[in-house]
Amino acid sequence: MTKNLVFICLTVVRFVLLARLASAAEFVFNGFDGGRSSSPLLLYADASIRSRHLVITNDSTFSLGRALYRDKIRTKLTNSSTSPAFPFSASFVFAILPVRNYRPGHGLAFLFAPSPGTHHANQAQHLGLFNRTNDGSPRNHVFAVEFDVFANPEFGDIDANHVGVDINSLTSVNAHTAGYYPDGADPDPSSFVNLTLNSGANYQAWIDYANLTLTVTMAPAGVRKPKIPLISIPLDLSDIFFEEMYVGFCAATGMLVESHRILAWSFSNTNFSAHEALITSNLPSFLPREKTSLLKSGGFVAGISVAVILFVAFSVAVALIWSRMCRKSRKGGDEESAEEWEVEYWPHRISYEEIHSATKGFSEDNLVGIGGNGKVYRGVLAGGTQVAIKCINHGSEEGVREFLSEVSSLGRLKHRNLVALRGWCKRGRGSLILVYDYMEKGSLDKWIFDCPEEAVLSWETRVRILRDVASAVLYLHEGWESRVLHRDIKASNVLLDGDMNGRLGDFGLARMQGGSQVASTTRVVGTVGYMAPEVVQTGKAGPKTDVFGFGVLVLEVACGRRPVETGKPPLVEWVWELVETNQMTAALDERVRRRGGFTEEEAGRVIRLGLMCTYPDPEARPDTRQVVRVLEGPSGERKYVEEMEEGMEASLLETWSKYYGSRKRAHPTFDELRESLNTSASLSSSDVILVGR
């Protein structure tokens, strides 16, 4: 009887998990491409795409527009009202622009709707959601979050600049004046920062639904998601959602006119970190220009400007021609013509003179680190921007050119949890200089292994950094046009900015691959202690090898131990042994334990995740998306995490018995690896195995 019950429970769990996987939906738009026929969006009425922005209304009176994701989103298992609504996370960057000669109004909304089109929707105060007849009808099955800039008494609007939650009606079930609570502030009126919705500024909104709770948060674009939401209410959407729904935006104008634009949009019903892939900085500004006097505008300024521009252009052209002639005549010069890909792709070449000046002649005072393949300097560019400058020495000109060809692609990777590559410089034969954003707090390994007791990272900060890195790896594996394998995920390659946000850096061993391909080399690559067994055995790498490296990083951060230390068992084996004796949480960093601020359950979950990621069998490891979901914990899908952990202890012990029972290490030491590699591999005196790309 007990066995039958267990079988039934496992079958139900398996069915639920398979159903959730089948219904998974996720997309990220950093700008929008295509017209009505080729766009991934369904555009209705006045909605259009201009300059890669989604423009929902035109600049005229009584305009209405709606834009929906082309495919329906699975929002429930069945249409039954008892079937719970799936969680979701949406984020978008928007701007509401005043239009000249008009007073601004009325607003835009993010919505779920059961059908496409704009049927039964009116302009003006109805925001393109409803009309006078159907407003308030339970048959609408519409959920929306409105960003409203007009106070309509008939809807009970709280003011003329608010965010509201709408269920089948424009009378909001909850609303709050637009704004945000900066991190570190108390949730009281004195710390609240008001934001004017129709100022033309770019704002980011986050709308999250999980565990029967809806949260709405907003902040100026580029500001990290505030910890205190603008709105947080208990809400059950099971009666509102059908099995499948459309998701998107709508907006409207009346006699009052404004422009409604969406610059970026992410959505996921499985990954509450999807918004991390949105680009929220260096966006176009729509803020109205200040009025100028007559002498500062008009024909006078235009004429002077044209004359100055022509003179400057002529002078620059002469200077460039003269400079090029001098370089060509200079024997043995270091500068070369631009690579073919430089014209089209970022990052571009930075002059050696500018880099030399930024580092004060590569002064030892600016030296911040020495890696396995070069030195790293701190520098300040002409505009005052701090950068990290890495000097790399390659063995051959061919190696440099091969590396540069990949820089042309890797340099286009854009994610807030990746260290941004700003540019490069080629100096002489076989010498490269890479310019990155400067990370003020340095590398993670210094904070884990080499910091005083009073500066020990809290448990919350450690988990947040792991979540940041996991989000970056997910972007590399699934979020770009080609899959990118990092192949060297470790604590020293995780850098921290001024706010202690984790960013994955050092793409010296990274490789791009298409779809389901497996990266293969004639040489083993990586760092001892972080390399998956299959890489050592076959030289082949895939996404699961990055997962293995991330698992070792998780254990490092949780346990406060390096993967390989003289006189101690390897980190992964040591934790496995503690699992065998039912002492898993004894592996936790003692300094963290003394500081507190965590639960044994949460610590166990993180350590178990590290062990799952370091399974010797790559097929048994979770994929990167699953890793992100586990790290989301309660803010993501707690039920999913709990189901994933059911029976995990037994599974871990079974794997231990299979792979470690003979006491033969599955993770070779550095000396053993040195002896086992074929002659094509080259080893440095460090623990990094260096190879051609």
What would the 3-class secondary structure string for 484-537 be?
EECCCCCHHHEEECCCCCEEECCCCCCEEECCCCCEECCCCCEECCCCCHHHHH
Give the residue with greater pLDDT, 659 vs 438. 438
Q: Give the range among 104-108, 296-300, 370-374, 621-625 with minimum mean pLDDT.
A: 296-300
Helix, strand, or coil (residue 451): coil
Q: What is the mean pLDDT of residues 72-76?
A: 90
What confidence tier does 553 reach under pLDDT thresholds 50, 70, 90?
Answer: very high
Tokens linked to 374:
């070069």
Tokens linked to 197:
């919705």
CA distances from 612 to 300, 454, 547, 608, 649 (A): 70, 32, 9, 6, 10
Residue 423's closest CA among 431, 432, 444?
432
Q: What is the mean pLDDT of residues 394-409?
A: 58
Residue tagged active-site, from 488, 546, 589, 687: 488
- Report the alpha-carbon distance of residue 12 to residue 62 in Å, rounded: 52
The pLDDT score that the predictor gives to residue 117 is: 83
**Is 236 an annotated catalytic residue?**
no
The answer on pLDDT for 61 being more than 80 is yes
Give the residue with greater pLDDT, 405 vs 480. 480
Say which amino acid occupies 93. Answer: V
Q: Are 421 and 347 in contact (CB under 8 A)?
A: yes
Q: What pTM did the predictor assign?
A: 0.57
Residue 437's closest CA among 281, 317, 579?
281
Residue 378 phi, psi dihedral angles, 5° rounding: -90, 140
High-pLDDT (> 90) share of the chain, %: 29
pLDDT tens digits for 316-339?
676 666 666 555 444 444 444 555
The pLDDT score that the predictor gives to residue 335 is: 46
The answer on pLDDT for 517 being more than 60 is no
- Report the alpha-carbon distance of residue 601 to residue 604 in Å, rounded: 5
The answer on pLDDT for 672 being more than 50 is no
Helix, strand, or coil (residue 439): coil
The pLDDT score that the predictor gives to residue 345 is: 42
Which residues are known binding-site members for ATP? Answer: 390
Say which amino acid occupies 181. Answer: Y
High-pLDDT (> 70) share of the chain, %: 73
Q: Give the range among 8-17, 345-354, 668-677 with minimum mean pLDDT.
A: 668-677
What confidence tier does 77 reach under pLDDT thresholds 50, 70, 90?
Answer: confident
The pLDDT score that the predictor gives to residue 262 is: 94
Residue 644 exposed, middle or buried by CB count within 10 Å (0-12, 13-18, 19+): buried
User: Of the segments 100-109, 213-222, 620-629, which one has the largest average pLDDT value?
Assistant: 213-222
**Cross-strand pairs, 103:** none
What confidence tier does 599 reach under pLDDT thresholds 50, 70, 90?
Answer: confident
Q: Which helix (H) or strand (E) holds 219?
A: strand 213-220
Q: What is the mean pLDDT of residues 665-679?
A: 41
- Report the alpha-carbon distance of residue 594 to residue 605 in Å, rounded: 19
Q: Give the range among 129-143, 225-239, 362-376, 591-605 with minimum mean pLDDT.
A: 362-376
What confidence tier does 406 reach under pLDDT thresholds 50, 70, 90?
Answer: low
Q: What is the mean pLDDT of residues 418-431?
A: 76
Q: What is the mean pLDDT of residues 539-545?
A: 86
The answer on pLDDT for 524 being more than 60 is no
Give the residue with greater pLDDT, 196 vs 394. 196
The answer on pLDDT for 371 being more than 60 is yes
The pLDDT score that the predictor gives to residue 350 is: 84
What confidence tier does 400 reach under pLDDT thresholds 50, 70, 90?
Answer: low
The answer on pLDDT for 680 being more than 50 is no
The pLDDT score that the predictor gives to residue 636 is: 44
pLDDT tens digits for 156-189?
889 999 999 999 999 999 999 999 999 877 777 7
Q: Give the range among 212-226, 470-484, 642-656 with minimum mean pLDDT.
A: 642-656
The answer on pLDDT for 355 being more than 70 is yes
Q: What is the mean pLDDT of residues 627-654?
A: 58
